[in-house]
């Protein structure tokens, strides 16, 4: 029964995707703008459905941070609508011809950008993801199946209703956007096996969610895993710059994935650098967890355990380690990091080049804060997430990363000899 209804959703998405693939940009943009208006007009209804989720969340004892992420107020509702209008203004990647070359036999062979088809998104509490993801998928010509967290189910179903009204009003298939309406966990298991209907699964959430998806999906997955980001202060770093970057990377917004979690410091600069940055951290209320040598310099630091090097705190907590060499820093990043965003602060040309070449992360920085890893900053216009894997998309994913390509071959009777 459940299997059947989830399969129906898959089949309907696939049918919608075929129609979406051949729409003009103007048709898709019109739908995005209609939906944006309907979201603003429906603010009261959205807030009242959201209030039911908030009430249940409070009864269940959700943390203050989770309640905050779950909350939709007028400003956030306007934000969702404006987000859709921004997406409407972005360039449509579909249909772009990447190159066409003529072969000796006269065949013209090229590549054209196409939608992926059907995108499945599995996410946790923030209901605005429902609208952002649907908007990005629509613009890139994909149908989307959304599976949000049970805490946000009323908000998500209400938003889906608005989205589908807008699609219908614009003359597009309502099945372009479908939200799985049951909170039964079994529904996700069924969804993850529908590789005949779904072309890609994007899980967004904690490490547990990501692992469960990776381990059970027969559909290709693009992971948006944790960000264990490092800043490494090389021995020759400019001291003031190093302090500013290390401070910004940790303190500017500690709850996000591009915030620094571990600070690595070359032994030759530690005695000068750590007291300076330590003072800044102390004033900002950052808890430090250091290696033994760090604690010899910064007495306020508690002892770091092996686990600390793997930790994504998402909080005002920082692991600090003194390393003997550049190589030790790079090895640490390789072993403990999540290959998200990692920075070096150095004045040496060759060291900067070695860091860029040897650190195998989605974003590798020289002399800047890791906080810049972001679709908007990187010029993608909008992002559906930040991929921490190497296949298909790496780092911030925008519209282009929601597309595939196909080869087109234009002939006038060529056969293979």
Closest CB 276 distance from a copy of itself, rounded Å: 15
Span near a copy of itself by CB under 8 A; candidates 280-288, 290-298, 314-322, 349-357: 349-357
For a copy of itself, which residue of 3, 218, 282, 300 counts as binding (CB under 8 A)? 218
Which residue pairs, CB below 8 angstroms and at least 24 apart, start in 94-101?
Answer: 94/21, 94/25, 94/140, 94/141, 94/403, 98/405, 100/408, 100/410
The reply on whether position 411 binds a copy of itself by CB under 8 A is yes
The reply on whether position 378 binds a copy of itself by CB under 8 A is yes
Closest CB 6 distance from a copy of itself, rounded Å: 18
The reply on whether position 262 binds a copy of itself by CB under 8 A is no
Span near a copy of itself by CB under 8 A; candidates 45-53, 59-67, 128-136, 247-255: 247-255
The reply on whether position 144 binds a copy of itself by CB under 8 A is no
Residue whose entry in the numeric block shows the structure tokens 């003009």: 24
Residue whose entry in the numeric block shows the structure tokens 């479908």: 178
Size of the site for a copy of itself (CB under 8 A): 70
Residue whose entry in the numeric block shows the structure tokens 């591009």: 258
User: What's the distance, CA 318 to chain centroid?
Assistant: 23
Beta-bridged to residue 110, according to DSSP, are 100, 408
Which alpha helices (H) appear in 93-238, and where do they start and end? 128-139, 153-169, 186-192, 207-216
What residues from 89 to 118 belong to the interface with a copy of itself (CB under 8 A)?
Answer: 101, 103, 107, 109, 112, 114, 116-117
For a copy of itself, which residue of 248, 262, 338, 388 counts as binding (CB under 8 A)? 248
For a copy of itself, which residue of 296, 315, 389, 400 counts as binding (CB under 8 A)? 389
DSSP 87: H
Q: How far apart are CA 258 and CA 250, in angstroms?
A: 9
Q: How far apart are CA 373 and CA 362, in angstroms?
A: 9
Element (H, E) at 8: helix 2-20
Residue whose entry in the numeric block shows the structure tokens 């590549």: 111
The reply on whether position 325 binds a copy of itself by CB under 8 A is no
Measured from the Cβ of residue 103, the count of other Cβ atoms closer than 10 Å reads 11
Binding residues (CB under 8 A) for a copy of itself: these are 18, 21-22, 101, 103, 107, 109, 112, 114, 116-117, 195, 199-200, 214-215, 218, 220-222, 238, 241, 244-245, 247-249, 252-253, 334, 352, 356-358, 360-369, 371-373, 377-379, 389-392, 394-396, 404-416
């Amino acid at each position: 029964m459940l299997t059947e209804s989830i399969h129906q959703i898959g089949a309907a998405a696939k049918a919608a995707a075929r129609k979406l693939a051949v729409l003009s940009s103007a048709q898709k943009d019109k739908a995005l703008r209609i939906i944006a208006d309907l979201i603003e007009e429906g603010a009261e209804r959205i807030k009242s459905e959201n209030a039911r989720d908030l009430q249940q969340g409070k009864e269940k004892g959700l943390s203050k941070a989770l309640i905050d992420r779950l909350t939709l107020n007028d400003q956030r509702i306007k934000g969702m609508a404006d987000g859709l209008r921004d997406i409407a203004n972005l360039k449509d990647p579909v249909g772009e011809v990447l190159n066409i070359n003529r072969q000796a036999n006269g065949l013209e062979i090229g590549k054209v950008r196409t939608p992926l088809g059907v995108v499945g998104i599995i996410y946790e509490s923030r209901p605005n993801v429902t609208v952002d993801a649907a908007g990005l998928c629509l613009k890139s010509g994909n149908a989307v199946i959304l599976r949000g967290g049970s805490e946000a189910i009323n908000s998500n179903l209400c938003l889906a209703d608005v989205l589908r009204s807008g699609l219908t009003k614009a003359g597009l298939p309502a099945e372009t956007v479908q939200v799985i309406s049951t909170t039964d966990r079994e529904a996700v298991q069924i969804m993850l096996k529908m590789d005949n209907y779904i072309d890609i699964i994007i899980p967004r959430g904690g490490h547990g969610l990501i692992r469960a998806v990776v381990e059970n999906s027969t559909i290709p997955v693009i992971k948006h895993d944790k960000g264990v980001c490092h800043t490494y202060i090389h021995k020759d770093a400019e001291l003031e710059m190093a302090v500013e970057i290390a401070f910004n990377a940790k303190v500017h917004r500690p709850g996000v994935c591009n915030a620094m979690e571990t600070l690595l410091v070359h032994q030759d600069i530690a005695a000068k650098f750590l007291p300076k940055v330590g003072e800044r951290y102390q004033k900002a209320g950052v808890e430090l967890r250091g290696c033994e040598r760090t604690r010899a310099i910064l007495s306020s630091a508690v002892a770091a355990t092996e686990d600390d090097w793997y930790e994504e705190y998402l909080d005002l907590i920082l692991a600090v380690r003194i390393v003997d060499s550049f190589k030790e820093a790079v090895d640490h990043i390789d072993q403990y990091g999540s290959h998200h965003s990692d920075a070096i602060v150095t004045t040496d040309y060759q060291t900067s080049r070695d860091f860029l070449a040897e650190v195998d992360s989605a974003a590798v920085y020289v002399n800047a804060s890791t906080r810049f890893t972001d679709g908007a900053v990187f010029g993608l216009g909008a992002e559906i997430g930040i991929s921490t894997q190497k296949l298909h998309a790496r780092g911030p994913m925008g519209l282009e990363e929601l597309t595939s390509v196909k080869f087109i071959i234009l002939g006038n009777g060529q056969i293979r000899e």
